[in-house]
Amino acid sequence: MKTDKVINPATGEVIAEVKHSDIPKAIEQAHQAFHQGPWPKLSLGERKNYLLRIAKGMLDKAQELAELETKNTGKPLKESTFMDIPSSIKTFEYFANNLERYLSPEEITLEAEGVSHLHYEPRGVTLLIVPWNYPLLIASWKMAQSLACGNTILLKPSSLTPLTALMLSEIIQEAGLPEGVVNVLNVRGGEVGPLLCSHPDIDMISFTGSTSSGKEIMRFASSNTKKLIMELGGKSASIVMADCDLEATVNAALTSIFLNQGQMCTAMSRILVDKRIAKEFIEQFTEKAKRIKLGNGLDPETQMGPLISAEHREGVLSFVEEAKAEGARLLCGGKIPDKAELNKGFFFEPAVFTDVKPDMKIFQEEVFGPVVSMLEFSQEEEAVKLANDSSFGLAASIWSKDLEKAERISKDICAGTVWINTYGMFYNEAPYGGFKGSGFGKELGKEGLREYCRTKHINSNSLEEKPLVSFWYAF
């Protein structure tokens, strides 16, 4: 049986070997568990209890999950400990505690006679494809919602970062879910993507990843009719107004591009700054970027870990070199560090560019690394035009003390999420998803949960008065 070696990107060491899954067997198990098993027929209250058991199991192993996530992704342990793992647990808790509110049948008020109800039914077998940048968190988003709705699951983590997904599978088994409800697939997407995405027994695909991969999935899925959620790439813009809180905005802007080594689809990789404060803003930002401490994520002093792989680092480096060749000015970083203690990992110094033009590749394409482009603007309208000058539409942020102005600007921004004087906050109560090349469909909130259901309309008449249809051909 084939295996994949799992690498710690901070050290280049093999930390695990994972066997490839039997794909036909997993699909059959999920199909049988849905069509012949008890899971989709359980009451909402019973599903709630199962989700709470999963959350409790994750909480009991929170430290182990955090350390494993850091070893597998390279991200600093404080990010895994205080962001990824608690957020994953809270997602299961939230949908457990709100599934009855969101999924109970609803009555519709009709102008005509009769009564209508909406029923929220499970879709069937759901294929959940998860990227390598937030392996446990995004898996938890998708799984909590899909399970809450009564679906069975094929979870496909990245072959680079399968370890916390496999531990989550063990926790789910310990929670006592029926056999076949959750199946983790350790396989390479390029090898089995066509089979999985076109398989007639898979009823829905929820994908988070690159736009190019999303297009391939849609192509394969077009051979039959499936429900799709596509959360794809981004080239998000941050608009910094002259009346912002400068210190707070600089610090937040650093986080918005360099958190998780810049490997975020919502990374604010284009920072648009009002000319009146641009010089001061860029100087402060660059000086702080130079001081970011790179290192092993398990070191408590580390502020930025490695990129996910040597191959990915080469891709990020090629963006930097092309930007320089096109005339952009590199203020700091943008290279492989020469420190001996970092030479075994896939580290990369955070890069800050100015003199970037809208037609440059660095402005238009997703780098997915710690590389930021700084541009200046004179008028509010110019900032909006620059922000919208992208094939993506995932997220944006606006920094201003004038909230009325910021909210007005937000309405003109073509992005699924706009943050004002904050960044990167995802709420289980609120939907998340992009526009344009960033995909379609939502995760989280009532809207996201119901993506994992099929909505059935049932209309009935009391027969106290015969409906018009009873007389249409009455002769």
What is the CATH classification number for the domain harbouring 347?
Answer: 3.40.309.10
Sort 65 into a burial class: Cβ within 10 Å, 0-12 / 13-18 / 19+: buried
164 and 300, same domain (yes or no): no
How many whole angstroms separate alpha carbon 10 and alpha carbon 30?
36
Given 420, 448, 469, the domain boundary residue is 420
Query: Among this protein's residues, is 231 annotated catalytic?
Result: yes
Q: Which of 149, 197, 244, 265 is catalytic?
A: 265
Query: Among this protein's residues, is 464 annotated catalytic?
Result: no
DSSP tag of 84: I
What does the pLDDT read at residue 475?
74
The whole domain housing 276 covers 237-420
Q: What is the 3-state secondary structure (H, E, C) of 132-169?
A: CCCHHHHHHHHHHHHHHCCCEEEEECCCCCCHHHHHHH
Sort 325 into a burial class: Cβ within 10 Å, 0-12 / 13-18 / 19+: exposed
> Is residue 385 within 8 Å of residue 281, measured between CB atoms?
no
What does the pLDDT read at residue 109?
85
122 and 249, same domain (yes or no): no
| Beta strands, E only, 62-150 | 106-108, 115-122, 125-129
List C-alpha distances in Å: 170 to 23, 58, 148, 163, 182. 19, 10, 19, 11, 10
Q: Which of 93, 216, 231, 443 is catalytic?
A: 231
220 and 295, same domain (yes or no): no
pLDDT tens digits in sequence order for the chain, 475 residues long: 789 999 999 999 999 999 999 999 999 999 999 999 999 999 999 999 999 999 999 999 999 999 999 999 999 999 999 999 999 999 999 999 999 999 999 999 888 778 999 999 999 999 999 999 999 999 999 999 999 999 999 999 999 999 999 999 999 999 999 999 999 999 887 878 899 999 999 999 999 999 999 999 999 999 999 999 999 999 999 999 999 999 999 999 999 999 999 999 999 999 999 999 999 999 999 999 999 999 999 999 999 999 999 999 999 999 999 999 999 999 999 999 999 999 999 999 999 999 999 999 999 999 999 999 999 999 999 999 999 999 999 999 999 999 999 999 999 999 999 999 999 999 999 999 999 999 999 999 999 999 999 999 999 987 777 777 888 888 7
- Nearest to residue 208, comparing CAs of 157, 148, 145? 157
DSSP tag of 218: H
> Which residue is associated with the tokens 């310990």?
174
Structural domain includes residue 365: yes
Structural tokens at position 351: 């890069």
> Which residue is associated with the tokens 């003109």?
412
What does the pLDDT read at residue 302?
98
* Element at 53 (helix H, strand E): helix 44-60
- Nearest to residue 167, comparing CAs of 307, 18, 298? 18
What does the pLDDT read at residue 113?
73
Q: What is the 3-state secondary structure (H, E, C) of 242-305?
A: CCCCHHHHHHHHHHHHHHHHHCCCCCCCEEEEEHHHHHHHHHHHHHHHHCCCECCCCCCCCCEC
User: pTM, whole model, 2 decimals?
Assistant: 0.96
What does the pLDDT read at residue 367?
98
10 and 150, same domain (yes or no): yes
Tally the domains of the chain. 2
Structural domain includes residue 295: yes
